[in-house]
Amino acid sequence: MKILIAEDDELMLRTLEMRLKKDGHEVIMARDGRDALMRIEDSNPDLVISDIMMPYSSGLEIVGSLRERGNYIPIIILSGMGQEDVVLEAFKLGADDFITKPFSPNELSIRVKRFALVRPR
Amino acid sequence: MIYFETAALSLFGIAFLLMGFMLIYIKIVKNRRSKYQKWKNIADLLVSEAIFSEDTDVDHVVFPINHRTEILLKNARFRKVLTKELLLAKKNMSGSAGLFLQKLYLQLNLDHYALQNFFSHKWHLKAKAIQDIGIMNLKAHLSKIYKQTNNKNELVRMEAQIAVIKLIGFDGLRFLDVVSYQINDWQQIKLLSELSYLPANNFNGIDNWLLSKNDSVVIFALKLIKSFHRFELYKEVEACLLHSSVNVRYQAILALEKIYNETTSEMLLKQYTIEVVKNQIAIVKTLQQMGSEEDIPLLISFLRNETPEQKRSIVRTIANISEKGLLQLRLHPEADIAPLSLIIKQIEGELSV
Amino acid sequence: MSWQTIIVDLFTYGLLAYSILLLSCYIFIGAYSIGEIRTHLYKNSFTDYRQLASASQAPGMSILAPAYNEGANVIENVRSLLSIHYANLEVIIINDGSKDDSLSKLIKAYDLYQTDHFVNEQIKTKQVRGVYKSRNKVYKKLIVVDKENGGKADALNVGVNIAQKEYIVCIDVDCILEQDALLKLAKPFLENSKERVIATGGVIRIANDCIIEGGRLVQVNLPQTFLPRVQTLEYIRAFLLGRMAWSRLNGLLLISGAFGAFDKEIVIKSGGYDHNTVGEDMELVVRMRRYMEELKLPYRVGFIPDPLCWTEAPNNFKILGRQRNRWTRGTIETLKMHRIMFFNRKYGFLGLVSYPYWFLFEFLAPLIEFVGMFFFIIFAVLGLTNWRFFFGLLAVVFSFGFLYSVFAILMEILTYNQYKRRKDILKLLLTAFLEPFIFHPFVVWSAVMGNIDLLRKKNAWGEMTRQGFSAPKKPN
């Protein structure tokens, strides 16, 4: 699967990359919201994993503007903002899954696999 | 006049001294920066190796440390860089990855240095040490940290309160029994966000905290009831509506919004007549959730003497309770007169979106 | 002794005493700011502001950004405001009767529609023509208000009337904010349980020659040209030393109009922005403080020294002169409106220290400097006083000013260290050395002109509205 990770924390980004590559996925990295949106257009990934608080555009904005444009690529929000209303807003805008930090890399890997299974491609 | 010249010269002298110091300082910082990047890479490598050593057994894992790193570890500034990266990763990672990070921290004896700072007389070192121990989840130091939850330094106290929750979860909240300082709103936000990471638990003590002489503890207890939907404490919350502090009563109203029953709206509408404006608006807002058509006549009667802002919240609540409410509102004698006419129009617009 | 010598002596020693008093104040401010900024930095080092970004408990903030003929950049600027990290936020753009296509551009870019919003006119303002919201869920924080032209104060008052959150954040629409700016600005309101925090001021930094991309500051550079660079130095001095010390004393009288947060309830109760003065930002803070003092309520005005807001500084003498002229008039008007507080014990610290300080050193300093210089030269030419004394005093004041600037630069390096290259620091030091010869006389002259203009009752409002809002970002 081709996965795009949007995350502005370098260590997190590297960790996620290592984990997902180990699972055999192809990984594209974006360090801010604008970069992420551009790369999604360009390389058309199968799954997006995005942080919320990032430079330029937030993860929620990414979800919103993708759905607005009719792009229904699966999106997992991965964020330290685990409060009820943020989670609800993410789902309302069209996110498919929400993982709160601190998170377990193993759990993430399993959730990603689930998306690979449900996606008939 | 000779004084002037001496004064001017010595002022210039001091300025030049400062400039000299400045230039040396810039040089040092520049050197450190290039070294810092190198160290950060070494630290990051150690950290990610720890995160991905999943196949090994957590209890018996020993991370290989090469000779170069071992020498570096004697350098206090490198340890600081490494500790920072470890803590950052630990904050983001749970599960076995988190445990491995803790193991690495202990293997490198970094806890030893944190403890040294803990006993420091400088408040910022002490507070930072407490924060580190909390994040790294070093339960062995619980009692030391617990004693600091009522420290007279605000920052030390705040970090200790957060750390005990990180260490033992809801049980850590028992510092609320004894804390004599005010817990400010910022700290309450931090505590609640810390608690939100924990698996739900029917912890004890809230009823006691509601009776605390420290108003901020009462307010925090009410926020706990609200966040964790503690229906069984309904009577106690209701009693808080008689509290002398406006803010306590305000929080009680917000808490009731989450644990209401069929008699709550009637009770709150009675409270409305004796409340301050801020709390009146809060009451009207909660009725959006719990109000029923029976409450509408009373709400409409409140429209008589209130400020436009209150009128707006009353109309919004009525409209949210039922569509019939809006119809009744249109029959109000002032329904065609500003500001009520404009308010009704706005609310109608909001509902149609 | 002849009467001439008596007059000259009185004049000389009066001036000397004034200088000593002024220099002592500066020494005190410099020394007093150190401890405060150190505490702030220590606190910052273990504060995770992001926790506030999502908390439902976080206080609601309404950003108020008046826009007048900003069509060229308004879309970009609004985008940058919308990307600020803060959940409980609304962004209110007030189109102050622009003559350009600002409004239609906004409507198109953000898919806006006109709503039947009821404007609760708690402060009297010019007519509101319409309130717009976005159909797009992503922009649900955005509110655009269209109103008849009435100047900045009036536009902000409309914003206050429309704002639905607890706190208002007033900014100039062309400012570049750091994304965590609101998180930091909101914190003081939450931290104090004993006193009510009625306002928090932020720092303005100079953005000339910095690299800005997509409404975000990407790289900080020291301005290449002299005028913006000397203002950079001026702002560092004012914000890092002056404001910091005053905030520790809880004596801040001014929150820059370009970036500050206010308790909405107190703003409304004390009457909102006054559109009869060109210094509406300072006047509001003074009036809010006065309101609290008169009701004997414990309160505080907070200040955050982190560089959070970046703005373009004027880079020619004409615009700079106009700006300083206006600041002077604003200061005088404010001081005049609240003259009852001058050395009035009823107003506590505000009446006994803050107000007199502003009167003696912010308002009078340029006048005394100008008059002093003038007469000194005349006396010396007439042989009534000697040149050595004159140049001696000048040398002391000059060397002190230079030392103060050097100290400010050192503090900047030790704290936020925005200008990292050695070349930049050397340039700043050179600027500090040249300032008294090139920049300072001009500033004094503009202040004197401001006094004269005010005496002539020259009403500058027409000029203000024509010109837009990009000027008044006061650092004193």
Question: Residues C225-239: pLDDT tens digits?
Answer: 999 999 999 999 999
Binned at pLDDT 50, 70 and 90, residue B180 comes out as very high
B37, B39, B92: best to mutate for the A interface, most A CBs within 10 A? B92
pLDDT of res. C391: 87
CA distances in angstroms from A87 to A54, A71, A82, A100, A104, listed in the order given? 17, 20, 6, 9, 18
Residue A111 is assigned to a structural domain of this protein: no
Distance, CA of B258 to CA of A84 (rounded, Å)? 14
Domain that holds residue A40: 2-99
Q: Dihedrals φ, ψ of C259, to 5°? A: -165, 105
Mean pLDDT of chain A: 89
Distance, CA of C242 to CA of C26 (rounded, Å)? 8
- Is the pLDDT assigned to residue A80 strictly greater than 90? no
Calculate mean pLDDT across residues C448-476: 60
pLDDT of res. B1: 60
Which chain B residue lies closest to C187 (C-alpha atoms)? B186
pLDDT of res. C466: 35
Question: Reduced to 3 states, what is the DSSP secondary structure of residue A78?
Answer: strand
Binned at pLDDT 50, 70 and 90, residue C458 comes out as low
Which chain C residue lies closest to B223 (C-alpha atoms)? C57
B-chain residues near C263 (CB < 8 A): none
Of C52, C392, C406, the CB nearest to B189: C52
Give the residue ranges of DSSP H helices in C208-298. 226-236, 244-248, 264-269, 280-294
Question: How far apart are the CA of A25 and the nearest CA of chain C, in angstroms?
Answer: 30
What is the pairing mode between strands C128-134 and C61-67? unpaired
pTM, 2 dp? 0.91
Calculate mean pLDDT across residues C259-275: 95
Calculate mean pLDDT across residues B80-84: 94
Calculate mean pLDDT across residues C255-260: 89
User: What are the respective helix, strand and coil percentages of chain B, to the nearest 5?
Assistant: 75, 0, 25
Give me the torsion for CA of B124, B127, B129, B131, rounded to 10°. -130
Express as a percent the part of chain A with pLDDT over 70: 96
Single out the residue of A27, C476, C218, C116 nearest to residue B347, CA to CA: C116
- Check if C114 contacts B (Cβ < 8 Å): no
Task: Note the pLDDT tens digit of each residue in C14-28.
Answer: 988 999 999 999 999
Strand partners of residue C94: C66, C145
The verdict on a CB contact (< 8 Å) between A105 and B93 is: yes
pLDDT of res. C461: 43
Min mean pLDDT across B148-152, B177-181, C316-320, C385-389 is at C385-389
pLDDT of res. A119: 57
Residue A120 is assigned to a structural domain of this protein: no
Distance, CA of C417 to CA of C107 (rounded, Å)? 41
pLDDT of res. C194: 85
- Check if B20 contacts C (Cβ < 8 Å): no
Which domains are delineated in chain C? 1-47+194-476 (no CATH), 55-191 (3.90.550.10)
Distance, CA of C130 to CA of B47 (rounded, Å)? 56
pLDDT of res. C300: 95
Counting other chains too, the contacts that C211-220 makes at CB distance below 8 Å and 24 or more residues apart are: C212/C176, C212/C310, C214/A34, C214/A56, C214/C76, C214/C79, C214/C80, C215/C76, C215/C77, C215/C79, C215/C80, C215/C83, C215/C176, C216/A55, C216/A56, C216/C80, C216/C83, C216/C176, C216/C179, C217/C176, C217/C178, C217/C310, C220/C418, C220/C419
pLDDT of res. C112: 96
For residue B297, count other CB atoms closer than 10 A to its CB: 10
- Is the pLDDT assigned to residue C56 strictly greater than 90? no
Task: Note the pLDDT tens digit of each residue in C353-378.
Answer: 999 999 999 999 999 999 998 988 88
Query: In chain A, how many domains are there?
Result: 1
- Is the pLDDT assigned to residue B328 strictly greater than 70? yes
Q: What is the CATH number of the domain that holds A19?
A: 3.40.50.2300
Which chain B residue lies closest to A101 (C-alpha atoms)? B92
pLDDT of res. C53: 82
- Is the pLDDT assigned to residue A12 strictly greater than 60? yes
- Is the pLDDT assigned to residue C475 strictly greater than 80? no
The angle at the Cα of C267, spanning C196 to C305, to the nearest 5 degrees, equals: 60
Single out the residue of C303, C279, C277, C301 nearest to residue C288, CA to CA: C301
- Say if CB C97 and CB C149 are below 8 A apart: yes
Min mean pLDDT across B50-59, B100-109, C292-301, C464-473 is at C464-473
Residue A57 is assigned to a structural domain of this protein: yes
Min mean pLDDT across B264-268, B329-333, C92-96 is at B329-333
The verdict on a CB contact (< 8 Å) between C57 and B188 is: yes
Handedness of CA C105, C108, C110, C116 (dihedral sign): positive
Distance, CA of B85 to CA of B83 (rounded, Å)? 5
Question: Reduced to 3 states, what is the DSSP secondary structure of residue C350?
Answer: helix
Residues 6 or more apart whose Cβ sits within 8 Å of residue A5: A13, A16, A17, A20, A27, A28, A29, A30, A48, A49, A50
> Which chains share 3+ C-beta pairs under 8 angstroms with C?
A, B
- Is the pLDDT assigned to residue C463 strictly greater than 60? no
Question: How far apart are the CA of C55 and the nearest CA of chain B, in angstroms?
Answer: 7
Calculate mean pLDDT across residues C97-121: 94
Which chain C residue lies closest to A59 (C-alpha atoms)? C83
pLDDT of res. C465: 40
Which chain A residue lies closest to C81 (C-alpha atoms)? A56
Express as a percent the part of chain B with pLDDT over 70: 99
Binned at pLDDT 50, 70 and 90, residue C379 comes out as confident
Residue A115 is assigned to a structural domain of this protein: no
pLDDT of res. C459: 53
Of A18, A83, A106, the CB nearest to B48: A18
Calculate mean pLDDT across residues A79-89: 80
Q: Dihedrals φ, ψ of C397, to 5°? A: -60, -45
**Contacting A residues, span 87-106, partner chain C, CB-CB under 8 Å:** 92-93
Q: Could you state, in order of their start, the residue ranges of all structural domains in chain B?
A: 207-259, 265-353
Express as a percent the part of chain C with pLDDT over 90: 76
pLDDT of res. C439: 95
Handedness of CA C157, C160, C161, C162 (dihedral sign): positive
Q: Dihedrals φ, ψ of C36, to 5°? A: -65, -45
pLDDT of res. A101: 86
Of B85, B96, B196, the CB nearest to A104: B96
Instruction: Report ipTM (2 d.p.).
Output: 0.90
- Check if C45 contacts B (Cβ < 8 Å): yes
**Contacting B residues, span 100-139, partner chain C, CB-CB under 8 Å:** 123-124, 127-128, 131
- Is the pLDDT assigned to residue A37 strictly greater than 90? yes
Binned at pLDDT 50, 70 and 90, residue C473 comes out as very low
Single out the residue of A16, A38, A30 nearest to residue A112, CA to CA: A16
The verdict on a CB contact (< 8 Å) between B11 and C388 is: no
- Is the pLDDT assigned to residue C471 strictly greater than 70? no
Which chain C residue lies closest to A53 (C-alpha atoms)? C85
Mean pLDDT of chain C: 91
- Check if A34 contacts C (Cβ < 8 Å): yes
- Residues of chain C with a CB closer than 8 angstroms to some CB in chain A: 50, 53-56, 83, 85, 87, 136-138, 179, 214, 216
Give the residue ranges of DSSP H helices in C298-386. 317-337, 348-349, 355-357, 364-381
pLDDT of res. B280: 95
